[in-house]
Structure 1
Amino acid sequence: MLVWERPEPPNRPVPAQLSRERIVRAAIRLADADGLDAVSLRKVAAALDVGPMRLYGYIATKDELLDLMVDAAHAEIRPSGDDWREALRSLAEATRHAAHEHEWLADLLGGRPQLGPHALAGGETIVAALGDVDVDSIMPMVAAVNAYVIGAVRREIAERRAERATGMDEKRWQAALGPYLERTFADGRHPALATVVRDAAHLDADQTFRTGLAFLLDGIAAHIRR
């Protein structure tokens, strides 16, 4: 029986009241502060000032805890919109925002199917908004948007982590690598790449994400028209 279906133990008169919600909130606080490495049933129990064995009545494994954490994050992903394009755009933006708020989420997106109540509620909203789309196209369309978002946010979070580790933001990296690229491009063997690097607009992370998303949604629109 999945954790979503398994009832919680009955309340008992003990010094520290527990629930799955309290356990998950504590785990998310640990992950927000120090990443997924900071999350274990033992560490969560310590944060709640209870013995680790108390948690096993509510959550059997760390994998179940991670599933519950991801579903709690899905409660913050509230797609909206009256048509397919706005619904998918909203899904992408809300997922990205949640991953920026909880960097650990980027490491867990795209794993096992998310079947918790919040994830299913969001899925229902999206599929309902795509009601006029051919039924065989709905899941591939949603999967394409999710794949784009997962790739984009993982790159963004990786850049954040690298910046924290090195103290080098994008402008500093550009300043440090600029002379190397100039020397490399001077031999004329990379003319197309040199033109893009020198002449194309350099978009920030928000602009890059939204431009790429618009390209994807335009492609979906073309498919629907056909």
Structure 2
Amino acid sequence: MLVWERPEPPDRPVPATLSRERIVRAAIRLADADGLEAVSLRKVAAALGVGPMRLYGYIDTKDELLDLMVDAVHAEIRPTGDGWREVLHSLAEATRKAAQRHAWFADLIGGRPQLGPHTLACGEAVVAAMGGVDLDTAVPAIAAVNAYVTGAVRREITERRAERATGMDKEQWQAAFGPYLERTFATGRFPALATVVRDGPHLDADRTFRTGLDFLLDGIEARISS
């Protein structure tokens, strides 16, 4: 029986009341502060002021806890809009914002299937928005948007982590590595890349994400209209 179907054990008022919701919220606070490596049943129990054994019955494994954490974040993702394009756009934006609030979320989306109630509700809203689009088009279209968002969000979070690890922001990185690229491009071996770096658009993270998303949605719209 999956964790969402398994009843919680009877409440014990001492030394501290517990519930799956309290356990998950404590785990999310730890992950938000220090990443997934900060999450273990022992550390979550300590944050709640109880012994680790108290958590069993509510959850059996760390994998179950991670599944519950992912599902809790999906409660923050509420796709809205009129028509499939607005809903898919809303799904993408809401997922990105959730990952910006919870950087660890980027490490877990796109993995094994998520079957929690909030995740299923999100999926239901998206599929319902596809309306009269045939399933042979709707299913890969939704998968394409999810894949785009997963990749884009992971890259953005990885870049943010790299900035923290190196202490170098974008301008500092350019100052450090720009001379190397100039010397390399001066050899004439990479003319196409040189043109991109020197003359191409340099979009910030928001515009990069939204431009790529629009390209993808335009392609889906063309397929649906054909």
TM-score normalised over the length of structure 2: 0.98
Shift in Å at residue 190 of structure 1?
1.2
2:83 is aligned with 1:83: yes
Q: For residue 181 of structure 1, what is the aligned residue in structure 2?
A: 181
Q: For residue 68 of structure 2, what is the aligned residue in structure 1?
A: 68
| Cα shift readout 1:76-123 (whole Å, capped 9, x = no counterpart) | 111111111110000000000000100000000111111101001111
Q: For residue 127 of structure 1, what is the aligned residue in structure 2?
A: 127
Whether the 8 Å contact between 2:8 and 2:20 is mirrored in structure 1 is yes
Matches within 5 A, 1:94-113: 94-113=94-113
SS in 1 for 2:164: helix
Q: For residue 149 of structure 1, what is the aligned residue in structure 2?
A: 149
One-letter amino acid of the structure 1 residue matched with residue 160 of structure 2: R
One-letter amino acid of the structure 1 residue matched with residue 100 of structure 2: H
Using the alignment, how far apart are the partners of 1:59 and 1:86 within structure 2?
37
Using the alignment, how far apart are the partners of 2:5 and 2:45 within structure 1?
23
Using the alignment, how far apart are the partners of 1:13 and 1:211 within structure 2?
53
Shift in Å at residue 13 of structure 1?
3.2
One-letter amino acid of the structure 1 residue matched with residue 183 of structure 2: R
Q: Structure 1 residues 142-151 or 9-18, which shifts more? A: 9-18
Using the alignment, how far apart are the partners of 1:37 and 1:13 within structure 2?
30
Identity of aligned residues (%): 81
CA RMSD of aligned residues (A): 0.8
Shift in Å at residue 209 of structure 1?
0.4
Matches within 5 A, 1:1-226: 1-226=1-226
Using the alignment, how far apart are the partners of 1:171 and 1:3 within structure 2?
47
Using the alignment, how far apart are the partners of 2:172 and 2:211 within structure 1?
24
Using the alignment, how far apart are the partners of 2:100 and 2:120 within structure 1?
22
Whether the 8 Å contact between 2:87 and 2:129 is mirrored in structure 1 is yes
Using the alignment, how far apart are the partners of 1:129 and 1:75 within structure 2?
18
Whether the 8 Å contact between 2:12 and 2:18 is mirrored in structure 1 is no
SS in 1 for 2:124: helix
Q: Count the aligned residue pairs.
A: 226
Using the alignment, how far apart are the partners of 1:113 and 1:22 within structure 2?
24
| Cα shift readout 1:158-193 (whole Å, capped 9, x = no counterpart) | 111110011101111111111111111111121111
One-letter amino acid of the structure 2 residue matched with residue 98 of structure 1: A
Using the alignment, how far apart are the partners of 1:15 and 1:187 within structure 2?
71
TM-score normalised over the length of structure 1: 0.98
Using the alignment, how far apart are the partners of 2:141 and 2:45 within structure 1?
41
Shift in Å at residue 14 of structure 1?
2.0
SS in 2 for 1:103: coil
Shift in Å at residue 157 of structure 1?
0.6
Using the alignment, how far apart are the partners of 2:22 and 2:134 within structure 1?
42
Using the alignment, how far apart are the partners of 2:24 and 2:153 within structure 1?
23
